[in-house]
Amino acid sequence: DSGVTQTPKHLITATGQRVTLRCSPRSGDLSVYWYQQSLDQGLQFLIQYYNGEERAKGNILERFSAQQFPDLHSELNLSSLELGDSALYFCASSPQSRDSTYEQYFGPGTRLTVT
């Protein structure tokens, strides 16, 4: 158990809908990262928050947004869903924002299926 929690574990929804994925980082970790894993794109970084502030953006679509709350949990919002958004979405956490010596601990993931 990495200490990172994600809910829900599975999500099935229809095209055009909006969903919210939730993540709680490990105790003491200030950074939260969101990654998307799909068969064709592999593991792609989406966005990072550190102590409530956005720090880095990766290949995140404009239909997607995220935030980190004062209690450090984070939510990833996906809207106007398309079939291609079906993927495994991971949240990861680490103590620092930008330190190459720190590993990131991953949550169990949310498997999103868009039908």
Partner 1 sequence: AQKITQTQPGMFVQEKEAVTLDCTYDTSDPSYGLFWYKQPSSGEMIFLIYQGSYDQQNATEGRYSLNFQKARKSANLVISASQLGDSAMYFCAMRGINDYKLSFGAGTTVTVRA
The residues that touch partner 1, with contacts defined as CB under 8 A, are 2, 33, 35, 42-43, 45, 48, 55-56, 58, 88, 90, 92, 97-98, 100-109, 111
How are beta strands 5-7 and 19-24 bridged, if at all?
A: antiparallel
Q: What is the smallest separation between the CB atom of 16 and partner 1, expressed in angstroms?
A: 26
Q: What 8-state DSSP symbol labels residue 80?
A: S
The C-alpha atoms of residue 47 and residue 36 are separated, in whole angstroms, by 10
Q: What is the smallest separation between the CB atom of 90 and partner 1, expressed in angstroms?
A: 6
The residues, ordered by sequence, that sit 6+ positions from 100 with a Cβ below 8 Å of its Cβ are none
Q: Which is nearer to partner 1, 87 or 114 (CB)?
A: 87
Q: What is the smallest separation between the CB atom of 104 and partner 1, expressed in angstroms?
A: 6
